[in-house]
Structure 1
Amino acid sequence: MTDTAPAQSSKDLQRLDVTHVEGDVYAIDVRGHQLRVDQPLGAGGTDTAPTPTELFAASLATCVAFYAGRYLLRHGLPRTGLSVRTEFAMAADPPARVASVHVVVTPPPELPEERRAGLLAVASHCTVHNTLRQPPETTVELEPSTPGRRTDESAPSRASDRP
């Protein structure tokens, strides 16, 4: 018996699309919502949006906040004052990656002392945190060429593309 996950049907898959806008700016379309990513000025971008790595940390922070908020709601407690701060550090050695993430939940001031441990337990088991603990199978592949579709490699070069 092998330890493999059941095959996913296409209806189980969630999709988002990323397209190039300009420079280092990319647009992300998620269920009709659009986000953008960019790079800081010092990294060659125009700093018009967060970096993908910042969105990664933000995904964890907002997931923790959501779970904490739902815990408070289930227990009839106010969410006013709930906040989450996240700090992350990049690894010094290759490959490029996030080496550490520190998440701090600030509960509402009215949170009873006896609910603090429960709030932390629920918040620390959000979907993104669980995914970091048990990483998914991840693949990256190149879309097959389609006749008649021009790729960046087949596009005519512009004068600005030359050194």
Structure 2
Amino acid sequence: MPRSPTLAHIDVTHVAEQTYAVFIRDHELTVDQPFSAGGDDDGPTPVELFVSSLASCVAYYAGRFLQRHRLSYEGLRVRAEFDMADDRPTRVAAVRMRILLPVRLSESRRRALYAVVNHCTVHNSLRQPPEISVVMD
């Protein structure tokens, strides 16, 4: 992930019921809730996107590691599972990720890869949370 002092902006706009459109640069995503939570299941939930951002950051760092070592990263996958906390406040309590490598790595390369993906930008942001502010216009 290239470092940028600020991302211009992300806009989130209500579409209908529990569905929202998320605009990021020239990309549009849809977030919604599953039927069981009153949504139409038109897209992932915001929490699923949150976990997805961590998993995709790990995948990116793993892919760059494999590239740097001139190893195939074709078919690289990261599978993430998460649990919600049982208490308050509502939050993600645990995330488990499994990197599914397309190539075999020596034990020393596996340790090196782990060190790299364990410090992806999203992971670092969770370890040292950003200051978050909310204002209303």
Structure 2 length-normalised TM: 0.92
| The structure with more strand, counted as a fraction of residues | 2
Match of 1:17 in 2: 11
Match of 1:75 in 2: 69
The percent identity for this pair of structures is 55
Rg: which structure is higher?
A: 1
> Gapped runs of 5+ residues in structure 1?
1-10, 144-163
SS at 2:123 equivalent:
helix
The one-character-per-residue Cα deviations of 1:39-77 (angstroms, maximum 9, x if unpaired) are 000100000100000000000000000000000001101
Equivalent-residue separation in structure 2 for 1:82 and 1:112 (angstroms): 17
Paired AA for residue 63 in structure 2? G
RMSD of aligned C-alpha atoms?
A: 1.3
CA contact (8 A) 1:77 1:111 kept: no
The equivalent position to 1:53 in structure 2, one of 47, 55, 58, is: 47
**Could you tell me how far 1:110 is from its partner in structure 2?**
3.4
TM-score normalised by length of structure 1: 0.78
| Alignment-mate amino acid for residue 125 of structure 2 | T
Q: What secondary structure is seen at the aligned counterpart in 1 of 2:64?
A: helix
Higher relative contact order (CA 8 A, sep 6+): 2
**AA partner of residue 25 (structure 1):** T
- Measure how far apart 1:130 and its partner are: 0.4
Match of 2:35 among 36, 41, 49: 41
